[in-house]
């Protein structure tokens, strides 16, 4: 991937993350917490892809995203382990909301995760600004 393509792809992933966050916020305001859980995960997921692209890493699976984040950013001290834990937790909610019959996402939990996702995206942007000047 050329530096120009990398920058374009990073910005595209950040745009996807911002859109998913806006969708989650709209869904929370409508009381659709189960659906919001899905969008919260994808906001963090796309932001994480942007981070990984700074290292020319393009995982093929969702578990690969987790693994590469841990290896290249947590272990390298670029992000705190709590960020990886947030992504894992959001992925669990997303899987439960999509595949578990009877899953209920309580409002207070969803709002807590919305705040955690906002913080996650802010942290990703800070790393991108610091490391590569990639954040818009």
Q: From the CB of residue 128, how many other CB atoms can be counted at a distance below 10 Å?
A: 21
Task: Classify the C-alpha dihedral 22-25-31-37 as positive or negative.
Answer: positive
Determine the Cα–Cα distance for residues 86 and 123; give it in Å rounded to an integer.
12
Tell me the CB-side half-sphere exposure of residue 23, using CA atoms within 13 A. Answer: 17
Q: How far is CA 101 from the centre of its chain?
A: 24
Model confidence, pTM: 0.92
For the chain, the domains span 3-131
The tens digit of pLDDT for each residue in 47-79 reads 999 999 999 999 999 999 999 999 999 999 999
Q: What percent of the chain has pLDDT over 90?
A: 90
Q: What CATH number should be reported for the domain whose range is 3-131? A: 1.20.120.330
Q: Provide CB contacts within 8 A for 19, sequence distance 6+.
A: none
Q: Using alpha carbons, select from 33, 7, 4 the residue that is nearest to residue 132.
A: 7
């Amino acid at each position: 991937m050329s530096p120009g393509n990398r920058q374009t792809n990073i910005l595209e992933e950040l745009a996807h993350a911002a859109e998913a966050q806006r969708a989650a916020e709209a869904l929370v305001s409508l009381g659709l917490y189960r659906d919001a859980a899905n969008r919260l995960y994808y906001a963090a997921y796309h932001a994480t892809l942007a981070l990984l692209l700074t290292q020319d890493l393009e995982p093929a699976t969702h578990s690969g995203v987790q693994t590469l984040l841990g290896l290249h950013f947590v272990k390298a001290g670029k992000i705190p382990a709590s960020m990886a834990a947030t992504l894992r937790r959001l992925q669990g909610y997303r899987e439960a909301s999509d595949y578990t019959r009877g899953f209920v996402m309580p409002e207070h939990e969803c709002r807590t995760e919305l705040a955690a996702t906002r913080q996650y995206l802010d942290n990703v942007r800070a790393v991108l600004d610091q490391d590569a000047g990639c954040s818009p």
